[in-house]
Amino acid sequence: MSAKPVLGTTLYSFTNEWLQRFYTLEELVAKVAELGLGPAVEVVGFQSFREYPDLSDEFARDFRSLLDRYGLFPSCLGGNCDVGRHRERLMTEEETVDFVERQLVSAQKMGFRVLRIQTFVGPRVFEKIAPLAEKAKIQVACELHSPLHARHPEVLELRECFDRVGSEYLGFVPDFSASMAAPPAVYWQKLRDLGAPEALVEEAKEVWASDRPIPEKFGALTDAAGRYGADGALRAQLNMSLTMFGRMPVEQLAELLPYTKHIHGKFYGVDASGNEPSLPYPELMALLKREGYQGTISAEWEGHAFTEEPIGFEQVRAWKAMCERLLAK
Amino acid sequence: MSGVKVIEDNSLRATPSGFEVRVRFKWYRSLPLSCLEDLRLSIDGEPVDPGLIKFHINGHVYRLSELTELVEENWFVLDPAILEVELPGKVKPGEPHQIDISFGMRAPYIRTGPGDFLTVINRGSATQVAA
């Protein structure tokens, strides 16, 4: 039998349950274990940990023992580079490195193997982080989703940086939403809810599915929004079709795997037949199996961008059954 | 299914200095206080001078104008902030009042252009009987 990825979930999938305070952190972890959604558990630091980016030794110890108790392990810590936190200026390079280092320390205390950050910090910050990551033995990896893809100039620059630095502690966290079959139906419905006429929705669908370069697509959406008199909220939501849902050919994921430290198994809705129509899961799982990927994949249900219904657990359960079925093929 | 509300239910309270309401923001993660932008509050349709609003969070009390500098203090995603408005006598216990609030929360890690970041607009309107 061939090697397989290790499945798990991010607690971000349970954003609706969390924000509505239906579950405490302990209860979320217990439920993940009870439903068999582990063993790998990812956490967005700024979502789940009050004191983040710094965490006390005591809190870290309690969290580790909580996961231990349920037979789970910490996979990826979702970090953020808040480079725009000052209203008037961007964080300097030095401040960015310090901000990442604090999160590295927290990841280490909690036992996470990977710290997720954002691509835009760029190669210079990654080069400075490399020795810190090696010392902490934590992989620092940037998340790749639309409008980025394996051959985007920004990504090629990072690949070149990772090759040059030659550290196994730097890499990517590809997100499956880079390679979507189509934006989910709930997304188009959101546009209608914001007042988009059907003809505008149809135009946005055509723009999304076209092969034009991304800047041109943004231009086409702006043009269409103007013609239909879309307001600010609708315009922002229209642009999200290009920033949330990518069209990278699945095969290009193979180019990223040598640098891949963890994967975000993004999805919006597994249907009653056990499939996710907006993402090419059969092809994605076949590729990971073929390439022998043995890293972790988090179920990342982002349907909460479109509904506040607390259905994260049932969705992640359906996702896991789908992935296991596809990996068994 | 109620979801997260910007103005918490039953949170309007008459105080000796005026009134207060409890407010949350709609986003999935905590954000620095410096990311709060352009908070507007009106009561019964009348805009309140932002200089009369105090922002209670994490056991601290700030003027809105002070928040811009607070890059290291977070508004935890589950916490309501208390907006205290200094308008003595404006609200009495048992009275219904309409409150409208809007503010932006800048997502300081989601770029929309050079030096620009996504700003999530939060809006809430509620008529509540003051406690």
pLDDT at B28: 97
- The answer to whether A47 contacts B117, with C-beta atoms less than 8 Å apart, is no
What residues of chain A lie within 8 A of the CB of B111, using their CB? 84, 120
Q: What percent of chain A is modeled with pLDDT above 90?
A: 95
User: With a cut of 0.90, is the ipTM above it?
Assistant: yes
* Gap from A328 CA to chain B (nearest CA, Å): 34
Q: Do A47 and A177 share a domain, yes or no? A: yes
The answer to whether residues A227 and A258 belong to one domain is no
When CB atoms are compared, the residue of B3, B109, B121 closest to A308 is B3
* Structural contact between residues B92 and A68, judged by C-beta atoms closer than 8 angstroms: no
Same domain, A11 and A51: yes
Q: In CATH, what number is assigned to the domain containing residue A156? A: 3.20.20.150
**Is residue A161 located within the same domain as residue A280?**
yes
Both A78 and A154 in one domain: the answer is yes
Which letter does DSSP use for residue A259 in this model?
Answer: G
| Domain count of the fold of chain A | 2
Cβ–Cβ under 8 Å, residues A119 and A156: no
Residue A1 domain-assigned (yes or no): no
Q: State which residues form the domain around A218.
A: 185-239
Are A228 and A281 members of one domain? no
Q: Which of A16, A17, A19 to mutate to test the interface with B (most CBs of B within 10 A)?
A: A19
Indicate whether A178 and A167 sit together in one domain: yes
Query: Rounded CA gap, A64 and A274, in Å?
Result: 33
Q: What is the pLDDT of residues A73-82, one digit of tens each?
A: 999 999 999 9
**What's the pLDDT score for residue A1?**
44
Question: Cα separation of A284 and A265, whole Å?
Answer: 10
- Does residue A86 belong to the interface with chain B, where contact is any CB pair within 8 Å? yes
Pairing of strands B18-23, A40-44: unpaired
Q: H/E/C letters for each residue in chain B?
A: CCCCCCECCCCCEEECCEEEEEECCCCCCCEEHHHEEEEEEEECCEECCHHHEEEEECCEEEEHHHHCCCCCCEECCCCCEEEEEECCCCCCCCCEEEEEEEEEEEEEEEEEECCEEEEEEEEEEEEEECC
Decide which of A193, A218, A239 is a domain's last residue: A239
| Bridge partners (DSSP) listed for residue B61 | B56
Half-sphere exposure of B78 (CA within 13 A, CB side): 17
Q: What is the pLDDT of residues A272-305, one digit of tens each?
A: 999 999 999 999 999 999 999 999 999 999 999 9
Q: Could A86 and B71 be called an inter-chain contact, meaning their C-beta atoms sit closer than 8 Å?
A: yes
Compute the distance between CA of residue A297 and CA of residue B15 in angstroms, rounded to an integer: 51
pTM score: 0.96
Per-residue pLDDT tens digits for A12-21: 999 999 999 9
Question: Is the Cβ pair A50, B76 closer than 8 Å?
Answer: yes
B28-47 pLDDT tens trace: 999 999 999 999 999 999 99
User: How near does any CA of chain B get to the CA of A246, in Å?
Assistant: 16
- Nearest neighbour of A82 by CB, restricted to B1, B108, B115: B108
Of A12, A20, A236, which is closest to B28 when you measure between CB atoms?
Answer: A12
Rg of chain A in Å (alpha carbons): 20
Residue carrying the six token digits 């880079």: A178
How high is the pLDDT of residue B112?
80
**Domain co-membership, A155 together with A38:** yes
